[in-house]
Amino acid sequence: MKATVFHGARDVRVETVPDPTIKEPADAIVRVVNAAICGSDLWPYRGVAKWPDGSRLGHEFTGIVEATGADVRGVKAGQFVAAPFSYADGSCAFCREHLYTSCEHAGFWGGLDDDGGQGEFVRVPFADATLVAIPDAIRDDAGKRTAALALTDVMGTGYHGAVSAGTKAGGAVVVVGDGAVGLCAVQSARYLGAERIVAVGHHAERLALAKRFGATDVVDSHDPQAQEKIVELTRGGAPSVVEAVGVQSSLDLALGVVRDGGTVAFVGVPAGMETLSFRRLFNGNVALRGALAPVRAYLPELMSALSNGSIDPSPVFTHKLPLERTPDGYKAMDERAAIKVCLEISKP
């Protein structure tokens, strides 16, 4: 089969690799319909994260079940399914608490040991626990199919951020960061009923999309008065803040705009967060919550919300490309021409 393989910084190729096969009775083989390129895929691409040559890429995909192992009961061949960005056994203590990312057998797609999503087929471990069926109403609708792909990572992550920050119906939320996850956090906050949603970023077209997604206000993060403006907009700070960038300056801004007693949830892998004002946390009774999204926990609800039109994150996919043009997709992401790229790999 064809799949995307990493060969070094800015050297991503679509190559022929071995077809996956059922190895364990709980496995399924999925033919990928759509896969995405993620902001975090740019780390190896840019050489920031040192990945081994030959690593497979991609951790967001939807597809059709092709084959299942002997123990698989929950999905069957022909079914359209979504996979969260990490798999889990579904039976350990953490999985029973729906904290799938802490599963003792948790794994992430790609690398040297697993298939990546950016290829024609994926071997899916713990298929019953990992895969979630996608309703026909979504399968038959091109726009919703694309939106379903967003649920596998960015929308699940944005939603987890909004939930982890304690977003309340009628409440105020600040989302720092206008990347795909930040935009999805905005839409999630609206879905959760927040009344005031302040989106913070510095790309005009992304902030415009934030408004479409439900932001009541947008603030330019490069404005020296950004913090004061946000505090004023939220009448003294927001009880719920989602930090969706992962760097020191955005963490500092988040802590500067959270209301005393509130929560800052950070949903991106911390990259360059070095220091923390413990005094800010202490004096203000503020919580800082790390929030690696257990996307599997949210897929059923978000799939239902997508079906009935309550959410639609599909606009984060600004570019659609066939598998063979995956390297162009990385380039578009790297140059920030694309918010997010959807690869159209096979027919649903």
Residue ranges that bind its own copies, judged by CB under 8 A:
93-94, 97, 99, 101-102, 164, 236, 260-261, 263, 266, 269-270, 273-276, 278-292, 294
CB of 133 to its own copies, least distance (A): 26
Shorter beta-carbon distance to its own copies: residue 97 or 195: 97
Q: Which is closer to its own copies, CB of 30 or CB of 293?
A: 293
Of 208 and 281, the one with the shorter C-beta distance to its own copies is 281
Nearer to its own copies, 68 or 164 (CB): 164
| Cβ at position 150, least distance to its own copies in Å | 21
In order, the DSSP letters of 282-321 are HHHT-EEEE----HHHHHHHHHHHHHTTS---GGGEEEEE
- Cβ proximity of 242 and 265 under 8 Å: yes
Q: How far apart (Å, rounded) are the C-alpha atoms in residues 178 and 212?
A: 13
Report how far residue 172's alpha carbon sits from residue 274's, in angstroms, rounded to the nearest whole number: 28
DSSP per-residue codes, 124-182: ETTHHHH-EE--HHHHT-HHHHHHHHHHTTHHHHHHHHHHHTT--TT-EEEEE--SHHH
Q: CA 146, 338, 158 angle in degrees (round to 5)?
A: 60
Q: Least distance from C-beta 110 to its own copies, angstroms?
A: 17
* Residue 26 CA, distance from chain mean position: 25
Local structure of 243: helix, strand or coil: strand
Q: Which is nearer to its own copies, 135 or 166 (CB)?
A: 166
